[in-house]
Copies of this chain bind each other. A is one copy, B any other.
């Protein structure tokens, strides 16, 4: 048995445009833009979307959104999503990058939110 929940919406943006994109999304959504210390590719958009961590990520790729799913068992959650039809694209540190049927990206990563939030909101899988 393991658990998971949607943790974050990432606004992946080509690096040359990431700063301008972060400024736009912060103003558009009424959020404050905060670069993450030590992880300069991420700019957190604090309270942009209620209940969902939102951040701009600078990437060397085309613009896209992706979803982060946090879980107490990365192996089991990845296996569950692959069994549902996703394919594994890559691994980045502890995160697994998957492509869903239909072509969208999602990442599976260890629990990032407060334990109380995770316990209250995560789905439980057999």
Contact = CB atoms under 8 A, between A and B. Distances in A.
Interface of A: 6, 9, 11, 13-14, 17-18, 20-21, 23-25, 27-30, 48-52, 56, 62-67, 69, 80-81, 84-86, 100-104, 106, 121, 123
Secondary structure dominating the interface of A: mixed
Given A6-B29, A27-B84, A28-B106, 6 more contacts: A9-B65, A18-B102, A21-B104, A24-B85, A30-B123, A52-B52
Given A49-B52, A121-B50, A63 B25 contact: no
Contacts of A29: 6, 123
B20 A102 contact: yes
Contact of A100 (B25, B85, B121): B25
Contacts of A123: 29-30
B48 A6 contact: yes
